[in-house]
Amino acid sequence: MAGKELNATAAALLGLLHDGSMTGGQLMSEATRRLGPFWTMTRSQVYRELPALAEVGYVRVGKPGPRASVPYTISASGKRAFAKWINEESGIGQLRDPVALRTAFASHMTPSALSEMYKSAAEYHTEALADVKARAKELAADDAGAATAMDFAVGYHKAALSWLKARQK
């Protein structure tokens, strides 16, 4: 958070805190529920960013509760920083897929290993597609933006399945 510039993880945490105070664990759960299929955050990232956000005044730290859990609340300056970030140009995402990477070197794989990799990937994407469709439906009632973002994950898994199907001939 050098120079008070928000990174994507810090911005996502501030976005989630617009819904109310949350502990680090609650933020992790909410990030997984609302963002997980298209944006991952690790527990260590969350717990590294929260003190940094507090240090620059973007969140207020509450009193420790049960099991020393500490609630965080977005501040007015945090809301302004998030508003600035959300309205800036987003940039372009980078795709990193381990199956596509290995496929680039498929000539070094045995046919059975290649076939098994595609089969496992297809199973994963089939399950993930069902999961994100269910999440999108669940979110549609109370969070249209998150439901629309979930459509990205639906499209990603559909595209991956189409690509894998073409490889499994």
Fold of 8-86: Arc Repressor Mutant, subunit A (1.10.10)
User: Cβ neighbours of residue 6 under 8 Å, at least 6 residues apart?
Assistant: 14, 81, 82, 84, 85
- With tokens 């059975």, the residue in question is 112
CA distance 149 to 14: 17
Tens of pLDDT, residue by residue, the chain (169 residues): 545 789 999 999 999 999 999 999 999 999 998 998 888 899 999 999 999 999 999 999 998 888 878 999 999 999 999 999 999 988 888 788 899 999 999 999 999 999 999 999 999 999 999 999 998 998 888 888 888 999 999 999 999 999 999 988 6
Burial of 49 (0-12, 13-18, 19+ CB in 10 A): buried
CB 58 within 8 A of CB 45: no
pTM, entire model: 0.80
